[in-house]
Amino acid sequence: MVAKHIIFIGRVQGVGFRFTAHRIANRHQLTGFVRNDPAGTVEMLAQGQPEDIDNCIKDLQDSFAGYIRETKIEEVSPDLRYTNFKITF
């Protein structure tokens, strides 16, 4: 298992991004979270198999192609506290 910390930049709040991310992450059997950041970005921690994380990110980028301006991805250590994928606030 690997983990990636992802920041989505653009018009990503108020457009259903977190709920779509939750659905897509669950489809790819990932654990972690997605949440709005006060700076107007969306932060995501995705944990699972590398190809599942990459496919999840691609699906989100495809779904919100007109909204995401930039995606920052950093590999981080897995956090075993997350046993499912959730929307946090």
Dist CA 70 CA 89 (whole Å): 22
* Res. 1 pLDDT band, cuts 50 70 90: very high
Span 16-23, mean pLDDT? 98
Q: Is the pLDDT assigned to residue 39 strictly greater than 90?
A: yes
Q: What is the pLDDT of residue 53?
A: 98
Helix (H) or strand (E) holding 44: strand 42-48
Q: What mean pLDDT do residues 44-66 have?
A: 98
Q: Which residues are catalytic?
A: 18, 36
Q: How far apart are CA 21 and CA 8, in angstroms?
A: 11
What is the model's pLDDT at position 37? 96
* Cut 0.85: pTM above it: yes
Predicted local confidence at residue 89, as pLDDT: 87
